[in-house]
Chains A and B, each alone.
Chain A
Amino acid sequence: MSYVIIAGISFPIVEKPEAWYHFPLIPGLGENAKIIFFHVPTAWITVLAFLMSTIFSIKYLRKKDLDDDGKSQTALELGMVFCILATVTGAVWAKFTWGEYWSWDPRQTSIFALLLIYGALFALRSAVENEEKRATLSAVYSIIAFVTVPFFVFIMPRIMKGLHPGSADDTNAGPVVNFKMNSNMYLVFVLSVVAFTILYFWMWRVGSRSLNIKEKLLKNYR
């Protein structure tokens, strides 16, 4: 907000006001480069949410408090939502940059595997009736599943050849890797990541509290 106010006041008086909204565009990407402000934060939130789910799973296993299970479950749901969003926005971007929605690029394959791994957790949760048993099983599964996350998100797409920026054959010649955001673009990018993180924490708080109240109500009235 303060940035907007400062920009609004100084816009007419600075020497070159156009510099405020000048973004360097990646060759071959054009305006599409701006998708980075939305596609990357969703992927970041996916990792953050799965990490939080693991932390609360460990907490549940130590203290056996069902509230921690609710928090872990909500983080899982949000992680899944943002994982799907990262996949879909990535696919749309791919259509206009790589020519196909889906081309089994290492990055796409790894996020697909991630979706399957965490999708199985929801199947597991819905299959167990007993609350404590369900919470323990899903906590253990969530911890084990998170072991694969750094591998699928950070390692595998980087050591294999592919189309996504940061792949193994994307040597220093690639326009995307060599590309440097200028300060304007970097500011918008950081603001976007921070805003998405705040949005995620807000959604997670509302989600986990309502889930825990619902579970308690179900326990009391039945």
Chain B
Amino acid sequence: MEGLYLFLEKNSIYIVMIIVLIVWAGVFLYNLKLDKRLKFIEKEMKEGKK
């Protein structure tokens, strides 16, 4: 852990990369939630047709 911290302190562009990945993880999680919602809609519509 200490080694990683020192590495990041020296190569701070990787900190920027971590920040970008965190932001994309947030966007990804929201999209995952949307995907779940759409799945639910598809299921309900199928059941409604029967």
B 1-23 binary contact with A (CB < 8 Å = 1; else 0): 00000001100110110111011
Q: Is A34 an interface residue, CB under 8 A from the partner? A: yes
A78 to B27 alpha-carbon distance, docked (Å)? 9
A-facing residues in B11-50 (Cβ within 8 Å): 12-13, 15-16, 18-20, 22-23, 26-27, 29-31, 34, 37-38, 40-41, 44-45, 47-48
The answer to whether B48 touches A217 (Cβ under 8 A) is: yes
In terms of DSSP, what is the predominant structure of the interface of chain B? helix
Interface of A, helix, strand, loop or mixed by DSSP: helix
Contact of A221 among B13, B27, B38, B44 (CB under 8 A): B44
Determine the chain A residues whose CB is within 8 A of the CB of B44 once the complex forms.
Answer: 214, 217-218, 221
A207 located at the interface, meaning its Cβ lies under 8 Å from any Cβ of chain B in the complex: yes
One digit per residue, 1 when the CB lies within 8 angstroms of any chain B CB and 0 when it does not, for chain A 193-222 equals: 000000100010011001101100110110
The reply to whether A35 and B19 contact each other, CB–CB distance below 8 Å, is yes
B26:A96 contact, CB within 8 angstroms: no
Chain A residues touching B, range: 20 to 34
Query: Which residues of chain A come closer than 8 Å to B18, judged between CB atoms?
Result: 92
In the complex with contacts A34-B16, A82-B26, A85-B22, A206-B34 CB distance below 8 A = yes
Q: In the complex the two chains form, is A35's CB within 8 Å of B41's CB? A: no
Complex contact B48–A203 (CB within 8 A): no
Complex contacts, B38 vs chain A, CB 8 Å: 210
Give the contacting residue for B29; candidates A81, A199, A211; CB below 8 A: A81
Question: A39 and B26: CB pair below 8 A?
Answer: no
Offer 12 A-B interface pairs, CB within 8 angstroms, sorted by A: A32-B15, A38-B16, A39-B19, A77-B30, A92-B18, A92-B22, A96-B12, A199-B27, A203-B30, A206-B34, A207-B30, A217-B44
Residues of A within 8 A of B (CB): 30-32, 34-35, 38-39, 42, 77-78, 81-82, 84-85, 88-89, 92-93, 96, 199, 203, 206-207, 210-211, 213-214, 217-218, 220-221
**What is the interface of chain B, defined by CB distance below 8 A to chain A?**
8-9, 12-13, 15-16, 18-20, 22-23, 26-27, 29-31, 34, 37-38, 40-41, 44-45, 47-48
